[in-house]
Amino acid sequence: MRPNLESTLLNKITGLSALQTKVTEWKQQGQKVVFTNGVFDLVHIGHITYLSKAAELGDKLIIGLNADSSVKRLKGESRPVNGQDSRSALLAAFFFVDAVVLFDEDTPQNLISTLLPDVLVKGADYEIENIVGAKEVLANGGEVKTITFVEGYSSTSIIQKIRNQQS
């Protein structure tokens, strides 16, 4: 019989304090902790590929997810299309995701500085010296990696395509 899947999924969605405790436990067990972040509004194959490649860089994958208020400031009043509860549940459903934590700020600086993951990951459109939290992770002996995106996929382009079809 399967474990309670809803409970398992919801246990992956956590606050910073509880996650800090988990990260400490994981590191004490010798597990390599990977962190990435984003909006993940309309999840597509580009996201899935990126996240699965990030997960392969360690033993535990944490996703810092922009809260709705943060998304509105960064992407405009019409975003997000899907609310933070839906986005966090969807990400938690991936077998290779171990934790999802929301943040209200425009960047995950506080999350990264608090958690100090072993590996910080962003898309290859970022230069390592411009990645938020890179200095802290590197100073703590960690690594900063970039992953190439799957060409032709973005939530913004999907939203635009839908809008064009409605016109």
Q: From first to last of the 167 residues of the chain, give the pLDDT tens digit.
A: 566 767 777 899 999 999 999 999 999 999 999 999 999 998 999 999 999 999 999 999 999 999 999 999 999 999 999 999 999 999 999 999 999 999 999 999 999 999 999 999 998 888 888 999 999 999 999 999 999 977 776 766 776 777 778 76
Listing from the earlier edge strand, what are the strands of the sheet with 119-123? Answer: 13-14, 99-103, 60-66, 33-38, 119-123, 143-147
Q: Report the pLDDT value the prediction gives residue 36, as an integer from 0 to 100.
A: 98
Cα(104)–Cα(90) distance, integer angstroms: 19
Q: By C-alpha distance, which of 14, 3, 4, 1 is closest to 97?
A: 14
Which domains does the chain possess?
5-166 (3.40.50.620)
CB of 147 closer than 8 Å to CB of 57: no
Are residues 37 and 117 in contact, defined by beta-carbon separation less than 8 angstroms?
no
